[in-house]
Every structure is written in structure tokens, then in C-alpha cells.
């Protein structure tokens, strides 16, 4: 597990005026990043999604149902946000299939 990702937890709370707002909290964890399969790639692209990755966490206890994460590829200066579209527990590891929405 050699790359840092940020799992994003979203919660709803009220501001000082009583209006609801979404608050995002980021939790940094280490993970392995790999490409998705060709089949997953083409299915995603037909739904206006692209840039899919598979994230493998060493411990399934690091994942708490988050719907989004951020990942900064080697050599990049920017964090890219991904939606978590599928999860899978493999022994003690947690696999997250993620897609970036077309902007």
C-alpha cells in the first residue's frame, strides 16, 4: 500500500441561519491503485463516466461506506475526485471501483 488517497465522508448539518449544508470530511489512508478492466471501462464510458481506477485498501476497516474519494496520481499536482461505484471485500482487503464523472 504505497499511495495516499483521501476518503470523503459527507454529513448534513445546519449553518448559523438554520439552513442545511453538506460538510465533507477527508480521511487519509494508504492504498494500491490499479486500472479497471476493459469491460468495466467500456460500460462506464457508455454511462458518461471515464477515468476508472480500482483502489485496494489493506484493511477493510479503513472503509466506512464513503461515496467519494480523492487521488493524486504520481507526477500530478492536483487531487482528482472519484465516485465509488462498487465495493468488494477480499479477505481483509477492501476493493473500491471508482469512476470520474465527465465534466
Residue 36 covered by a domain: yes
Residue 88 covered by a domain: yes
Residue 13 covered by a domain: no
Query: Which pTM does this prediction carry?
Result: 0.80
Domain residue limits at 66: 3-8+26-101
Which residue from 79, 91, 89, 94 is spatially nearest to 5, judged by alpha carbons? 79
Residue 15 covered by a domain: no
Residue 20 covered by a domain: no
- Secondary structure (3-state) at 49: strand
* pLDDT score, position 48: 58
Residue 14 covered by a domain: no
- pLDDT by residue, tens only, the chain of 103 residues: 589 999 999 999 998 999 999 999 999 999 999 987 656 655 655 565 556 899 999 898 999 999 999 999 888 899 999 999 999 998 999 999 998 866 5
Residue 66 covered by a domain: yes
Amino acid at each position: 500500500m504505497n499511495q495516499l488517497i483521501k476518503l470523503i465522508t459527507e454529513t448534513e448539518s445546519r449553518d448559523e441561519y438554520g439552513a442545511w449544508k453538506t460538510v465533507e470530511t477527508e480521511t487519509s489512508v494508504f492504498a494500491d491503485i490499479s486500472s479497471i478492466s476493459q469491460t468495466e471501462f467500456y460500460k462506464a464510458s457508455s454511462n458518461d463516466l471515464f477515468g476508472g481506477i480500482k483502489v485496494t485498501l489493506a484493511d477493510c476497516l479503513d472503509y466506512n461506506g464513503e461515496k467519494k474519494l480523492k487521488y493524486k496520481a504520481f507526477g500530478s499536482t492536483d487531487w482528482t475526485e472519484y465516485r465509488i461505484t462498487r465495493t468488494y471485500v477480499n479477505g481483509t482487503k477492501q476493493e473500491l471501483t471508482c469512476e470520474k464523472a465527465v465534466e
